[in-house]
A and B are shown apart, each in its own frame.
Chain A
Amino acid sequence: MMFTADKIALLVATMKRNGVAELEIREEAEELRLVGAAGVRPTAAISPRTAGRMVSATAFGVLHLERQAGAAVEAGEIVATVAAGPLRRPVVSPIAGRLTRMLARQAQRVEYGTPIFEILEGKERS
């Protein structure tokens, strides 16, 4: 038996942590398919109660910062990228505002939901 209960539990935990909804693995003669129940959500990194909101990673990989703390950004603007192999995927700001605090380092390994910047909502542009 390749897929022990421990191994499956580990896979499920990894899926949850990274916001993976569906996983299919084939190992030799065995096949395993894991589907997250509806409502399985990645760990939310946004807390509406704090003054600053977060810009968080949306993929697993190596972080490349495109903006620094202090930068004014628009909603949808790319503030960082996450590299997996030769591919880079965008991390965009969910709102217009100013990046107030850097919460991750350049070249750090990030997962789905890893906070990258704290952002203070506001319309001003630098």
Chain B
Amino acid sequence: MIEILETPPLNTMQDLGRVGYRCHGIGRGGVMDRLALAAGNALLGNDDGEAGLEFQLFPVRLRFTRETAFAVTGAHCEARLAGRRLPPWWATRAQAGDELVLSSPRKGMRAYLTIAGGFDVPQVLGSRSTHARDSFGGFHGRPLLAGDVLGNRAHAPFVFRDSAGVGATPAEEAVPAAPCEDLADGETVVRAIRAAEFDSFDEASQTALCRTPWKVTARSNRQGYALSGTPLRRNALLEMRSHAIVPGVIQVPPSGQPLIQLAEANSAGGYPKIGVVIEADLWRIGQLPPGATLRFVLCSLQEARAAEQASDAYLASLRRLAGYCRKAAA
């Protein structure tokens, strides 16, 4: 069991999200970095989609009240267990009474804590994700607070073959981003496919989408990221009816400054869409703090599928190899 000792607001329990309820106005939710959550689960032998704690504000302090195998993945936040620094993307065993401290990340934006067996909270509409706006799912439908005590579900006991534990090569190193010409230092590249209204943008804007940098503004959160850069203009201004949208959609409001809808995207929206960030690259956006610079490259559906296969291959290989590093305990 885990007791939260200290946490800023807005840290929640999330899994891969709630699928199949968008028609009722309930968006997917779930983690902002699906690869980091799944990698933590793979290290522990959990299902990929087991819920974890998503930390986006720091510092976080918690105590294991019982011996527990856990993993910390995602943003590199100098996790310290009982005072000892853990490498990034690391799984190990905490002893009863050990404190885990996560500091502001040196790299990335969101860190994930997963535990062997997964968290012991009920599924709501098929998911353990916290739907904070409507107050359901996750841990009592709300962000974590100091004093919260979270249990894990029963699982087959195991030990790590190396008592110090085992880790994963962070996804940003193991799963390379798409190449992009004239990329500047520190810029993050994501692939996008053209969306329905792409052709209604003028040529300069179509070019600017991929040839100019986009700054992540402070108005960026789990619902979406607001970008600033060269304004994108359409040939003719047309009102649109609200229509269904999905995480990854790049909308362009009248200001010409794009918005990327993310995990807590509404189920419908009315702004024209210039593109959709492919699912396999959404986690890269989830790791960008405000002030970071983003670049888009357009890709085909085939390339999007290949990118997804590359992430799947990384996870499958990690899961298989990590299995050799654990053994059943008596």
Which residue of B85, B164, B321 is within 8 Å of A92 (Cβ)? Answer: B164
Instruction: Give how many A-B residue pairs fall within 8 Å (CB-CB).
Output: 57
Within 8 A of B (CB), among A58-99: 58, 64, 66, 74, 76-78, 81, 83-90, 92
At the interface, is chain B mostly helix, strand, loop or mixed?
A: mixed
Which residues of the other chain, B, contact A78 by a CB distance below 8 angstroms? 84-87, 90, 164
- Residue contacts A-B, CB under 8 angstroms, 21 given: A58-B162, A77-B84, A77-B85, A78-B90, A84-B321, A86-B169, A86-B314, A86-B321, A87-B167, A87-B168, A87-B318, A88-B87, A88-B89, A88-B166, A88-B169, A89-B162, A89-B167, A90-B162, A90-B164, A90-B165, A90-B167
A75 CB to closest chain B CB, in angstroms? 11
- 0/1 string, B82-100, CB within 8 A of A gives 1: 0011110110000000000
How far is the CB of B207 from the nearest CB of chain A, in Å? Answer: 37
The prevalent SS among residues of A at the interface is: strand
Q: Which of B84, B87, B164, B325 makes the CB contact (< 8 A) with A87?
A: B325
Q: Determine the distance from Cα of A84 to Cα of B174 in the docked complex, in whole angstroms.
A: 11
Interface size class of A (residues with CB under 8 A): 10 to 19
Give residues in B with beta carbon < 8 Å to A. Answer: 84-87, 89-90, 162-169, 174, 314, 317-318, 321-322, 325
- A90 near B168 with CB under 8 A, answer no
Report A-chain residues with C-beta under 8 Å of the C-beta of B165: 90
Q: How far is the CB of A116 from chain B (nearest CB, A)?
A: 14
Can you name 4 extra interface pairs (CB under 8 A) apart from A76-B164, A81-B167, A88-B168?
Answer: A77-B84, A78-B86, A86-B174, A87-B166
